[in-house]
Structure 1
Amino acid sequence: MPPLVLALLIGVTAGMRSMTAPMAISWAAYAGWLPLGGTWLGWLGWWGTPWIFTLLAIGEYIADKLPTTPSRKAPPGFIGRLLSGALCGAAIGLAASSLPLCLAAGVAGAVIGTFGGHAARMALSRAFGTDLPAALIEDLTAIGIGAFAVASL
């Protein structure tokens, strides 16, 4: 699959769950699927990085279900999702020698994932009559898209 499409997909993941994308990318780098050694993003493949991002992702999955969690569309959350998409898109771009385009695709994917994920979750919440099943479906979707993207590297 073309790196630009993979960067867009990992950006969508970042838009849905901001820590899931770097978790997937860091596991791919650690496993050697994403050759980042010797680059400015080589730290993504260090032995502890995937574990740290995994813990952060788990924390995000939990925090997302809390009623006090702010909207993903509010500036701090939205900016964080854009940065996550940019970082992960850049990682794919570095490995594919297509840094600027993949970085931009990661950001574009984050926008799509933020607004598309929100719209889908709201529709599912209305259909279920409660938010929790919709939130869990969104978690699994983000994990699935991220896993597909890194498995396709």
Structure 2
Amino acid sequence: MKLQITNAFKQAAGLGIIAGMRTFSAPAVISHVYSRHPSKQIKGTSLNFMQTIPASKVFKVLGAGELVGDKMPFAPKRTAAGGLAGRFLSGALCGATVYKANHKQPVIGGLIGGAAAIASAFGCMFLRIGLAKRSGLPDPVIGAIEDAIVISAGTAIAKSM
């Protein structure tokens, strides 16, 4: 039996990975796309708010604030319980939305996006710590590199939708 990886799976997992790196960047990407190109499958569902211009604007403001806040010395650890919960929910929301828009079960998409967010949160934390130790770069510089990856990946996913 051949495993077929659908575009919806790639999008849900990719958005989950982004959510694990920056909680609000993934919903900012998806709400931007769907607010400008609404999906008939999402219309009239509980996920319809993701297709609104106000939601798109709110997620963009939250995402921009997070890009700045991540570099502050008082920023909480991404693997703290609250941070992980937020990242899981962000990835789950995005995964469910993508799956619903693609005529698939939103619960499955939510689980894929949420799981990818948790894996990404831990993976990126360890990568960031290791990179700081080996390179000697200050954490805010590494955070800015991570931001560039998030923005690039988000742009690529948006273009694939």
Q: TM-score, length-normalised on structure 1?
A: 0.93
1:23-38 alignment to 2 at 5 Å? 23-32=28-37, 34-35=39-40, 36-38=42-44
> How far, CA to CA, are the matches of 1:3 and 1:133 in structure 2?
33
The answer for unaligned runs of 5 or more in structure 1 is none
Q: 2:138 aligns with which of 130, 141, 144?
A: 130
> How far, CA to CA, are the matches of 2:53 and 2:62 in structure 1?
16
Check if 1:81 corresponds to 2:87. yes
* Contact 1:128–1:134 (CA under 8 A) maintained in structure 2: no
> How far, CA to CA, are the matches of 2:158 and 2:45 in structure 1?
18
CA RMSD of aligned residues (A): 1.5
Amino acid at match of 2:157: A
1:96-107 alignment to 2 at 5 Å? 96-98=102-104, 99-107=106-114
Question: What displacement does 1:34 show?
Answer: 4.8
Question: What displacement does 1:150 show?
Answer: 2.3
Equivalent residue number for residue 3 of structure 2: none
Amino acid at match of 1:115: F
Amino acid at match of 2:121: T
> How far, CA to CA, are the matches of 1:13 and 1:34 in structure 2?
22
Distance 1:81 1:56, change over 3 A: same
Q: How many correspondences in the alignment? A: 153
> How far, CA to CA, are the matches of 2:38 and 2:111 in structure 1?
22
The answer for unaligned runs of 5 or more in structure 2 is 1-5
Amino acid at match of 2:92: A
> How far, CA to CA, are the matches of 2:23 and 2:154 in structure 1?
11
1:4-153 alignment to 2 at 5 Å? 4-32=9-37, 34-35=39-40, 36-98=42-104, 99-126=106-133, 127-153=135-161
> How far, CA to CA, are the matches of 2:68 and 2:57 in structure 1?
17
Q: Which of the pair has more CA radius of gyration? A: 2
After superposing on structure 2, the runs of 4+ consecutive aligned residues of structure 1 that deviate more than 3 Å are none
* Contact 1:72–1:78 (CA under 8 A) maintained in structure 2: yes
Amino acid at match of 1:140: A
